[in-house]
A and B are shown apart, each in its own frame.
Chain A
Amino acid sequence: MSEMRDEMLRTLDRIVEGTVTTAMREAADEKASGGGGGKADATKALWSALEEAGITAIGAGGEDDVAFADAMELVRRAGYHALPVPLGETIIARHMLARAGMEAPDGAITLAVPGAGDLPKAVNGGLEGAIRSVPYGATSAHAVVATDGMLHLAEISGALITRGTNMAGEPRDTLDLSQAKLVASAATDNAAAALEAEGALVRAVALSGALSACLDECLTWVNDRVQFGKPIAKHQAVQHLLAQLAEETAAAGAAADLAIEAAEAGPARFQIAIAKARVGEAAGKAANIAHATFGAMGFTREHILHYTTRRLWAWRNEFGSEVYWQAEIGRLVASRGGKQLWPLLNGEL
């Protein structure tokens, strides 16, 4: 692990410690009721601190840029902290733009990934089409958009149609791209598929961080909570639950690692599919174990567990659920035949 990576991760931890409170998480949560949730400026201090530390500007390419693997560790840590800002989207967007030879603007950049059959069109120097579930679409200044064979950077501040949220109360907004301003374009093979895969990669990586957070929260709780005269950590049934959570966390970490490594070297749709499939499976199991561990307490709004577990449920659905990616892997494998699976797994095809 590089010194630079350690330093960046420490910086991120310090920023989280200084700016992220439960009150802030609640204010940022678009699904919060009673607390007047969904205040757009709730996360301003967090985002400004990230900007000031240069964390939102990495991934632009160039000599002094942060290595891709290090950038992905930041995404993982942001997932660990369940940060209510589009940091992962911004980091991966900047990498995509740099690779496509486009200059990235400052500020938040989101990913506008089309649903099946809804590929936007590039027309007369502009764009046409609507995209649903754009992360932080209302508050991000820019988005990366795909059309047939082209990748675009668009300015989206006037393109909002409706606001929405995912299960974790994170903004997932619908954009009308005809109201967006095209900033730059570059020819890119299978642009929509590439954009979807990059989205799946950041979600898989962030999920692996969220699984670690889940395990940490559970470990603290089982050592503190006393029942039958001893910490519940001393009960074998609880120990075995947490062992399984540790297994899923370790598998998710390894699956994310294999996608990061492949994506650093080039197009990595197959490895990203493996990662999102495996991490998504782990996420569902982990959320179940965490809630079994915390009992009624973890089912309350006032407890912080749901900031992590609702993200596990939400993120495993986004940019393709585990079943979506499993089916893609399965179709690929079936089309090649059983004997070709082994060379495929060894990166020889």
Chain B
Amino acid sequence: MPHFAYEPVKMPPEAVKLRQEVRAFLADEIAKGGFAPAVGSMVEADEAFSQKLGAKGWLGMTWPKKYGGGERSSLERYVVVEELLAHGAPALAHWIAERQSGPQILRHGSERAKEMILPEIAAGRCYFAIGMSEPDTGSDLASVKTRAVKADGGWRITGRKVWTSFAHRAHYLIALVRTSGTADQRHFGLSQFIVDMKTPGITVRPIYNLYGGHDFNEVTFDDVFVADDMIVGGEGRGWEMVVSELAFERSGPDRFMSTYPLLVEAIDELGANPERLQAAEVGRAVANLATLRRMSASIAGMLNEGKSPVTEAALVKDLGTSLEQEIPEIVRRILPVEPRGVSSNNGYADLQQLSQMQCVSYSIRGGTREILRGMIARGLGLR
């Protein structure tokens, strides 16, 4: 005991101050009609909003100044991310780029890639998609078949990626591709490439989700050229790169706060004097949320110290997505969803129904529940 450590983290005074600045900015944006709070900041993309955040210095905050960063702590970044989610801000455009592609390029990219791309991400102008899954490759990521062959000064990629969120608006895509060996050689021979989406040979086709939203895409590569210095981490290190991204991808507040705006709406809909069990349902969600925030902030503290707490992050994601998925259930147990009377405000009910349909994806994206539990079991020494 303990099996996984989530050491307490003290928020530095600058992070506490920053929280108020971000909140004031968001209140101002809402007041000006800049956005209406939505479920999940990973749903609404607003390029102008992302650029405003960039201008404030709230993107790429931890990166070196020479790449457009602010050289601030992971805890300050944590605060910004939390405030965006708590207010349902339309932050999808820059989300993947800022959360994981940027940090990945900063750690393992070429000097040219860093100089060309990082300042643009930090300005809120450059967006990324992640090309991991394929038609025959889901959780079993090492089985990717998309291939790159060596060419003069670079590589030529051919293959197909699916479930590629935001590929239709992203400027770049980081693709996991086989550069040597065969699919049965598993983790060997994989590499990560930064692919410019304007390169000839790329076709993006929408895959609409179950409620008609457009987030997913199918991306086809037909002999697409990528320069040598757009490999991340070097040839054959793709698997290692994927693993190192995961602590960034899985531990953040976006893994437990997607449906927070629905909880807020439900509390208002419930009124000031709920019955005991209605209150208890709300209280249970709040107690879970408060606990997850503490665990997630602890991971931000570990990242700040240069650690890579991949298993701890997997654990937070599994608990976090469970809460996100439970919130639509909790609120429908305590409030009717079916509208009553023409004068009733349906804001709450609309949000509940959207959340209900959206939240099934939360325990799939970024690593399924079953994959995460396998990782935790490995951390416990069971496999």
Interface residues of A (CB under 8 A from B): 80, 209, 212-213, 215-216, 219, 222-223, 233-234, 236, 238-240, 242-244, 246-247, 249-251, 253-255, 257-258, 261, 271, 273-275, 277-278, 281, 322-323, 325-331, 333-335, 337-339, 341-342, 345-346
Contact = CB atoms under 8 A, between A and B. Distances in A.
Interface in B238-283: 263-268, 270-274, 276-283
A228 B289 CA distance: 40
Given A243-B318, A326-B284, A333-B283, 19 more contacts: A80-B1, A212-B1, A219-B382, A240-B370, A243-B374, A249-B2, A250-B315, A255-B287, A274-B287, A277-B283, A281-B288, A325-B287, A326-B279, A327-B280, A330-B284, A331-B274, A338-B265, A338-B266, A345-B286
A250 B3 contact: yes
Contact of A338 (B268, B288, B377): B268
A280 B276 CA distance: 17
Nearest to B374: A239
B267 A338 contact: yes
Interface in B359-383: 370, 372-374, 376-377, 379-383
A250 B380 CA distance: 12
B6 interface: yes
A250 B4 contact: yes
A223 B293 CA distance: 33
Contact of A219 (B8, B274, B318, B381): B381
B298 interface: yes
B264 A341 contact: yes
Contacts of A341: 263-264, 267, 286
A17 to B, nearest CB: 15
Contact of A251 (B276, B319, B374): B319
Nearest to B373: A243
Contacts of A346: 19
Contacts of B175: none
20 contacts: A216-B1, A219-B380, A233-B382, A233-B383, A234-B383, A243-B373, A243-B377, A246-B376, A247-B376, A249-B2, A254-B298, A278-B288, A326-B281, A327-B280, A334-B271, A334-B272, A338-B264, A338-B265, A338-B268, A341-B264
Nearest to B279: A330
Contact of A333 (B4, B19, B267, B298): B267
A236 to B, nearest CB: 7
Interface string B284-304: 101111111111001000000
Nearest to B261: A338
Contacts of A249: 2-3
A243 B376 contact: yes
Nearest to A271: B290
Q: Which 9 residue pairs are nearest across A and B when measured between Cβ atoms?
A: A330-B279, A326-B283, A329-B283, A330-B283, A239-B377, A338-B264, A212-B1, A330-B282, A338-B267
B86 interface: yes
B374 A213 contact: no
Interface string B1-38: 11110101000000000010000000000000000000
A244 to B, nearest CB: 7
Interface of B: 1-4, 6, 8, 19, 86, 263-268, 270-274, 276-284, 286-295, 298, 315, 318-319, 370, 372-374, 376-377, 379-383
A240 B318 CA distance: 12
Contact of A246 (B3, B86, B265, B288): B3
A242 to B, nearest CB: 6
A327 B376 contact: no
A149 B295 CA distance: 37
Contacts of A246: 3-4, 315, 376, 379-380
A54 B380 CA distance: 35
Contact of B6 (A250, A323, A328): A250
Contacts of B382: 219, 222-223, 233-234, 238-239, 242
B3 A212 contact: yes
A273 B383 contact: no
A127 to B, nearest CB: 31
Contact of A337 (B2, B4, B267, B284): B267
Contacts of A339: 264, 268
Q: Which of B6, B270, B277, B376 has the most CB of A within 10 A?
A: B376
A330 B294 contact: no
A163 to B, nearest CB: 32
B194 to A, nearest CB: 34
A250 B283 contact: no
B2 A250 contact: yes
A239 B319 contact: no
Contacts of A238: 382
B8 A261 contact: yes
Contact of B279 (A253, A334, A345): A334
Contact of A254 (B6, B271, B273): B6
Contacts of A257: 6, 8, 294
A98 to B, nearest CB: 24
A215 B3 contact: yes
Contact of B294 (A243, A258, A333, A337): A258
Given A244-B373, A341-B263, A255 B291 contact: yes
A1 B319 CA distance: 26
B295 A328 contact: no
A240 B377 contact: yes
